[in-house]
Structure 1
Amino acid sequence: MSVIESFLPPIIKTKETFGGESDLAAYFYHESLNQLLSEDDWLIVQSTYDPKYNLKYETLFTLTNGYMGTRGACEQGAVPEMPGTYLAGVFNKGDGPVRELVNLPHWHGISVFANRNALRYAEDASPLNAQTCEVIRFCRILDMKQGLLISESVYRDSAGHETAVGTCRFVSRHNVHRTGIRLFITPLNHEGVFGVESRIDGSAVNWRTNPKFRAKHYHLIAAEDADFEELYLEAVTKDEAVHIGYGAAIHGLSRLGQQAPLPTISHKFSNDGEQCAEYCEFRIGRGETVQLDKLVVIYQALELNGDCLRDAVHRNLERYRSEGWTRELRRHADRYAEMWKDADIRIAGGEDENRLIRFNLFHLMSTAYSGSPAVSIAAKGLHGEGYWGHVFWDTEIFMLPFFMYTFPDLAKSLLKYRYEKLDGARENARIAGYAGAKFPWQSAASGQEEIPPFSYDEHGAPQPLWMGKIEDHVTADIAYAVCQYVSVVDDPVFMLEYGLELLIETARFWQSRVEFHSERRQYVILNVIGPDEFHERVDNNAYTNAMAAHNLVQAADMLTDYQARFPAEVSRLLARLEWRPDDIAEWRKIAALMYIPRDEDRLLIEQFDGYFQKKDYQFTAFDPLGMPVYTGNPQLAELEQTQIIKQADTVMLLLLLRGLADPATVKANYEYYEKRTWHQSSLSMGMYALMAQRLGDTEKAYDLWLRTARTDLMDRHGNAGLGLHAAATGAVWQVLLFGFGGVQPDESSGILEIAPSLPRAWRSLAFTIKWRGYRLVIEAEPERLHITLPEIREGTFQVKIWGQLYAWRAEHSGERISVPNRREASVNG
């Protein structure tokens, strides 16, 4: 059984007979839909309809261009459902517990009415959907190569009439304000009058399926059928008064294969309460197919520089109608093709890994947006309302590496988000009593902490949420990400304009956060939470202390370097920040004397003071999804008394700071903590996979990587319906490139090093990376590595391959070089 088949309905191409038509070997009845599809290993297929999986598939089939995201809810509606359309950066609090990403009006709704007179207004009128009809055939496909969601259902109504309804949806990467759906309707065993209603639905709420958190975050100030034969709806958020305008129009109604418009029996526009609708009726003969397009344009007023929102929507929609759905689809698909040239990773061998990889990378790369530094990637992407749509450290540590090596401009935009929120981080530090900038555990629009101060237990009693107050490692994580970006991209302009200030302000925070322990004669950091959130309010979490020390050293080193290289620019920055010249020496002193708890006899780094005195527990049982099974009381108060950890903590530290410990210490810590990790966070297994690979256990790494890659497809954590586990998608890439691909900068020389080591099932691993302005195309095999050299601009291009240094000059530009694996040869010899 393939990897995909183990957790999704099988990918089926069978011959089916519809209404006396000839047999058709395809996914869909409508051949026009089949013709749109990419190759099978670019497709995720849902071939059966089961309502209990509706919310999961809404997440899996989300389409986003980084500016907006729309969940994969069915156009004809479903029960249950949690449809969502979100614009990056549009938040509101209202009466809710926190400021959250706003679920805005839904644009995707299309109802089809079959074989009745005066359809929309008849008392017995009911649309074709899974609630009113028997679904005799169902298929939905996410085409990841082109960014399409293609769906088809064959409905049998109470009269026995069978109708095939197909759709193709996209959210444009070419023009981020445009979305669209092409609709196909075919009566298979009947004929008559059909109606289509296209809606913009302004009744959307957040947390539709959870009354405890349900909230509507906007008012409607316009819901109308305009003079231009198009719909217009305008919403304004309740707190910040952000105006969002929608325009929509039905276009291109015709019989399949015919250019002439199909005559309509009626064509109406309506404004019914919180929605506006366009409705048309037409006649279809048995076996005939009619198609039409729903064209939609969405803007928010803040980006228009004072231009009229209604006019901007209308002008774009007017151009869209003139250019047509097909042209926009092609331009959208072309943009994805360009992105996949750099992002695609190909495996030869194995089972169905290419599809797994593409699923994770499709959602990861689709969610980033370079059009505004005011937005980043939330922990749940633009795929749902989990974690309120907030940004966590997940972005910098788990997702950013993919963008640094693949789309460096997007990586820069993600870091600029943190710079844009620097004043909010300064305010966080001030409120907590510290200097510099303290970045929030959960970030939204302002950069201030967004996590509520309390949650409530099953008895309604308030329980403090300490993460927002003391999970301070996020500040060091952001500084770490800045340094990694500069190492990979070599962007001094970014450092001068943004990066140095981020490093200085985060270093100032740690300078004020540490305390000097007079007995140890070392600096300590008390009352924190590390990545493992099962243990709160601990002292000297090793991850936090070591990452803080790294932050201080890197700030000192970078500032010293840039002062020498760009004295005038840095002098102006330091004057603005009222920087003290003796800070550099103080930062270095604190870092050198930072306390890291250790058990030297066992070569172990203690996760925090007193961790080894906790009750020991080692996992020995696993559930069918490969998750560790804990047989004790899962309440936090109980877990805090044990050595069970939620996710990679000390092991994560040793991955990020490779020079912190020797190989024997790294191995000892991996073996100790791996047995005690519950992997209750999707951030965990990927990091253990990376460490297993680093220690030479490639098959263990492969197993953990597969589990990580299946996080959402298998719904490993039971909450895929609330949105994407975006950090896991980044971890999938990291294990492929940093693990099996062996890609990393040499710490001493800064030269790129590539040392692949592939799982036994794989014959090759092919990928593309960007390195300091160069683009490298690499294909790794067990015995050799093929590298297509970039255009070498001057001097030599150097890279280490399996430990050997190679240098090529300009005359080698564009050549495909094969390098033998001498390590493999020496082992086999």
Structure 2
Amino acid sequence: MDPWSLVYEGFDPEREGLREALCTLGNGRFATRGAAPEAVADGVHYPGTYVAGCYDRLTSKVAGQELTNEDMVNLPNWLPLTFATPGSEWFLAGTAGLLRYRQELDMRHGVLHRLIRYRDAEGRITSVRQRRLVSMADPYLAALETTFTAENWSGPLRVRSALDGRVTNEGVARYRDLRGDHLTRHATGTRGDLTWLRARTRSSGVEIVLAARLDVSPDVAEPPELERHDDLIAETRTLGLERGRPAGINKIVALTTSRDLAIADASSAASRRAELAPGFAELLERHEIAWHDLWERARLEVTGARIQRDVRLNTFHVLQTLSPHTADLDVGVPARGLHGEAYRGHVFWDELFVLPWLTLRFPEIARGVLRYRLRRLPEARAAARAAGLCGAMFPWQSGSDGRDETQRFHLNPRSGRWTPDHSHLQRHVGLAIAYNAWQHYAVTGDMEFLAGTGVRLLVEIARFFASLARLNPASGRYEIQGVMGPDEYHDAYPGAPAPGLDNNAYTNIMTVWLLLRTREALDLVPRRAREDLCRGLGLTDVETERWEEIARRMRVDFHDEVISQFTGYERLAELDWSRYRHVRRLDRALEAEDDSPNRYQVSKQADVLMLFYLLTARELRRILDRLGYPPPPGVIRRTVRHYLSRTCHGSTLSAVVHAWVLARTDRAGSWQFFTETLTGDLTDVQGGTTAEGIHLGAMAGTLDLVQRCYLDLEARPDGLHLNPVLPQHLTTLSLCVRYRDAELCIDADPTRVRITRADDGPPALDVAVHGHHARLRRGDSHVFPLPERRAEGEPPGPGVPP
């Protein structure tokens, strides 16, 4: 197996959607699904091109309700290219006499290859080779190279290339009752040798322009046949094929929008870029150089060709969604990448699983994503005020401007019913933003970031959660009521007239963590700058003193020496798991039976266990101690066992968290969860969802598992600490990270860790491995011996005390 390639042999209509998602090519600004160039949306194929941050809002009437949704827009299709031998119909893979059909995703170079051999009705055999790229060197360009060889015949071959604006958003079956006609005001035309197509989104008014140039080899003397409509422009060329002699046609495309920087207008910019673009060979060379540089920074080498291939596949798709080009854009982390239309391209809390990996590799990208949140701070403040609260209430689903895009109704495909959706009550998205802001400073040491973006986000989010917390005179504890936790299956108490739960443990404990870290962040800012910040934010000692009180008196519930997910959790019934074995979406199964997960101790994904994913055991113990809940021995292990046995893993993120929390106490179980999430999209573990877009959080989460969990890598005030215990299946691990502006190469095996520092960054860095400290100067290398591998459960690891 080539660990740089994903290969598919044969044409498989039932798996075409999955392949299209996994063979998507992108550069962080835009991406195009791996659909066949000759394909149209027909239930088998789904061409899709998406520009990061390009959204549009439409109102639909469904089941008597008016629903307004903002979607990431499927843009005009630049791919269309098909061909026909004399007297034959245009080629379609599903109807042609295929002799061979092969797709290969070359991840090293960011190129999608396709090989076709087919026989037409007259017995003529033609081979077709295609290479496709979405340029990582120039984020406005894409290209398709097609080479034809007539194997047993000579004669004319017609080739038809088009720009197609007749597209809608219809890539997710359960959304098809909703409007998807986001594009309007189409126009097409020619400019010299170029063809162009322009369209505009209906409500957001974003203008999108495609301009295409065809380079034909050998040259074709005859002028092209032109077909022009308002929403489609096509040109047909006739190639004179000679038996055994290749002939090619290259399609170079520029995609611009009215949101782009440094343009006069989208139309002239697209034409100019397409006109000035080099030929395919030079485009490919520049593209490969850009990918080489990315892979140097993203290097993560593990044992075994298959595991290595899967790690690279996840890395590849993370970097195609969030590349260095993204750092200059005003975009967040779309939960399903730029690979499809699931979740409407919205930004959830998935950055909690994505940014830790990026921060240690590409801090400029992570910083750009956090600026996306900072720019939407006014909208988050307005949402808090509308709810009668303080600070900033970030929405569960965000899109273009930071308004709450969370749906209010959900279609259950099992029952066909639209039911109320209360997921907007997941206030914990703000905790994820704050966590990432703090981690960014901890890893980079960027005081300019902390004193600007970091503190502003932390303070406003802290204000919000402090205003959510209300003192209950009966218990003398602060409580947070009427929210949902990460579990997502529980949105109300059984029979309650209103949605919401009280004292979700994850929300309450992370609120305490947030208040403590915000105070610490303020203390780190130099005095004069801190005074200016507090004055600008209107932050007073009275307010921070209340934070201190909440951080000592927050309520946390327990039952049977286990942390309770929320108040009253222990009163819920136990589910008859024998009836629902292997059912991942229990909410849909139960609703179809007129039942609800609100009645049961079941979880879609990790909730309480998220605490052990984000916090070390040391941090968690300190928080519980200061709250007056000294944790009894073994509470974390009991809590892990309790919820693990009651979780159906209806989210791909669930396996990431469980792999993490089991890393030291159950290495075999951790590895099983790791491999499941590592290959979750490749195997389509959720049964059809990958075709709608990859699961970016799970992909990045697996990379972070290898990087931070299995190395137990932690950025502390006194330096970078590692306490690795590699799984038995990872006998070697090699990677590069950036810490405090220095590049560190880490090579680990079961007996030792070597850390080598490049000649950059500060004069000296402190690192520690299993408590053994070293100060690394520029160019230094140090070998740390590891203790003999102990029995499972020792030594303590992330979130798991001895």
- 2:501 equivalent in structure 1: 538
- 1:571 equivalent in structure 2: 531
- 1:647 equivalent in structure 2: 605
Is 2:541 the counterpart of 1:581? yes
1:109 Cα deviation (Å)?
A: 0.9
1:610-759 alignment runs, 5 A limit: 610-617=568-575, 633=590, 637-658=595-616, 659-661=619-621, 664-693=634-663, 695-718=664-687, 719-746=689-716, 749-759=717-727
Q: Retained in 2: the 8 A contact 1:126–1:132?
A: no
CA distance 1:240–1:561, shift in 2 (3 Å):
same
CA distance 1:582–1:560, shift in 2 (3 Å):
farther
1:154 Cα deviation (Å)?
A: 1.4
Is 2:224 the counterpart of 1:267? yes
CA distance 1:477–1:285, shift in 2 (3 Å):
same
Tell me the distance in 2 between the aligned counterparts of 1:627 and 1:463: 19
Is 2:425 the counterpart of 1:455? no
Q: Retained in 1: the 8 A contact 2:741–2:761?
A: no
1:823 Cα deviation (Å)?
A: 4.2
SS in 1 for 2:340: coil
Residue 463 of structure 1 aligns to which amino acid in structure 2? T
CA distance 1:566–1:330, shift in 2 (3 Å):
farther
1:689 Cα deviation (Å)?
A: 0.3
| Among 457, 460, 467, the residue aligned to 2:423 | 467
Residue 131 of structure 2 aligns to which amino acid in structure 1? C
**Structure 1 unpaired stretches of 5+:** 1-10, 12-39, 117-124, 255-260
Q: Retained in 2: the 8 A contact 1:128–1:155?
A: no
Tell me the distance in 1 between the aligned counterparts of 2:762 and 2:22: 45
Q: Retained in 1: the 8 A contact 2:740–2:761?
A: no
Q: Retained in 2: the 8 A contact 1:65–1:367?
A: yes
- 2:254 equivalent in structure 1: 297
1:266-345 alignment runs, 5 A limit: 266-304=223-261, 307-320=264-277, 323-345=278-300
Residue 709 of structure 1 aligns to which amino acid in structure 2? L
- 1:763 equivalent in structure 2: 731
SS in 2 for 1:689: helix
1:410 Cα deviation (Å)?
A: 0.5
1:358 Cα deviation (Å)?
A: 0.4
Is 2:64 the counterpart of 1:109? no
1:266 Cα deviation (Å)?
A: 4.2
1:218-229 alignment runs, 5 A limit: 218-226=183-191, 228-229=192-193
1:461 Cα deviation (Å)?
A: 6.5
- 2:626 equivalent in structure 1: none
Is 2:753 the counterpart of 1:778? no
Q: Retained in 2: the 8 A contact 1:616–1:643?
A: yes
Tell me the distance in 2 between the aligned counterparts of 1:725 and 1:609: 31
- 2:182 equivalent in structure 1: 217
SS in 2 for 1:291: strand
1:265 Cα deviation (Å)?
A: 4.0
Residue 540 of structure 2 aligns to which amino acid in structure 1? R
1:735 Cα deviation (Å)?
A: 1.3
- 1:84 equivalent in structure 2: 48
SS in 2 for 1:303: coil
1:454 Cα deviation (Å)?
A: 2.6
1:517 Cα deviation (Å)?
A: 0.8
| Among 141, 146, 150, the residue aligned to 1:187 | 150
Tell me the distance in 2 between the aligned counterparts of 1:143 and 1:741: 29
1:671 Cα deviation (Å)?
A: 1.2
Tell me the distance in 1 between the aligned counterparts of 2:412 and 2:685: 24
1:306 Cα deviation (Å)?
A: 6.1
Residue 157 of structure 2 aligns to which amino acid in structure 1? F
CA distance 1:826–1:800, shift in 2 (3 Å):
farther
1:618 Cα deviation (Å)?
A: 7.7
Mean alpha-carbon deviation: is it higher for 703-712 or for 147-156? 147-156
SS in 2 for 1:388: helix
Deviations 1:191-241 (A, max 9, x none): 210111111100010015643134111213421122x11011111111121
Residue 196 of structure 2 aligns to which amino acid in structure 1? Y
- 1:57 equivalent in structure 2: 19
CA distance 1:184–1:339, shift in 2 (3 Å):
same
1:612 Cα deviation (Å)?
A: 1.4
Tell me the distance in 2 between the aligned counterparts of 1:772 and 1:191: 63
Mean alpha-carbon deviation: is it higher for 760-769 or for 678-687? 760-769
Tell me the distance in 2 between the aligned counterparts of 1:460 and 1:792: 59
CA distance 1:757–1:618, shift in 2 (3 Å):
farther
Mean alpha-carbon deviation: is it higher for 493-502 or for 577-586? 577-586
- 2:65 equivalent in structure 1: none
Tell me the distance in 2 between the aligned counterparts of 1:161 and 1:273: 36
1:271 Cα deviation (Å)?
A: 1.0
1:795 Cα deviation (Å)?
A: 5.5
CA distance 1:823–1:618, shift in 2 (3 Å):
farther
Is 2:389 the counterpart of 1:411? no
1:757 Cα deviation (Å)?
A: 1.5
Is 2:326 the counterpart of 1:361? no
1:456 Cα deviation (Å)?
A: 5.0
- 1:389 equivalent in structure 2: 345
Tell me the distance in 1 between the aligned counterparts of 2:595 and 2:549: 37
Mean alpha-carbon deviation: is it higher for 262-271 or for 95-104? 262-271
- 2:206 equivalent in structure 1: 242
SS in 2 for 1:98: strand
**Structure 2 unpaired stretches of 5+:** 61-67, 492-499, 622-630, 795-802
1:628 Cα deviation (Å)?
A: 10
- 2:59 equivalent in structure 1: 95
1:62-211 alignment runs, 5 A limit: 62-77=24-39, 79=42, 80-96=44-60, 97-116=68-87, 126-208=89-171, 210=173, 211=176
1:366 Cα deviation (Å)?
A: 1.6
Q: Retained in 2: the 8 A contact 1:686–1:728?
A: yes
1:668 Cα deviation (Å)?
A: 1.4
SS in 2 for 1:643: coil
Tell me the distance in 1 between the aligned counterparts of 2:686 and 2:517: 36
Residue 166 of structure 1 aligns to which amino acid in structure 2? R
Tell me the distance in 2 between the aligned counterparts of 1:198 and 1:431: 52
Tell me the distance in 1 between the aligned counterparts of 2:610 and 2:576: 19
| Among 29, 32, 45, the residue aligned to 2:7 | 45
SS in 2 for 1:132: coil
Tell me the distance in 2 between the aligned counterparts of 1:765 and 1:263: 53
TM-score scaled by structure 2? 0.90
1:308 Cα deviation (Å)?
A: 2.7
TM-score scaled by structure 1? 0.87
Tell me the distance in 1 between the aligned counterparts of 2:597 and 2:784: 50
1:489 Cα deviation (Å)?
A: 1.0
Q: Retained in 1: the 8 A contact 2:28–2:321?
A: yes
Deviations 1:350-373 (A, max 9, x none): 461000100111101221143434
Deviations 1:107-139 (A, max 9, x none): 0110112124xxxxxxxx521122331222110
Q: Retained in 2: the 8 A contact 1:235–1:243?
A: yes
Q: Retained in 2: the 8 A contact 1:778–1:785?
A: yes
Tell me the distance in 1 between the aligned counterparts of 2:206 and 2:251: 26
Tell me the distance in 2 between the aligned counterparts of 1:274 and 1:792: 53
1:318 Cα deviation (Å)?
A: 1.6
| Among 382, 394, 403, the residue aligned to 1:427 | 382
Q: Retained in 2: the 8 A contact 1:539–1:608?
A: yes
CA distance 1:313–1:586, shift in 2 (3 Å):
same
- 1:374 equivalent in structure 2: 330
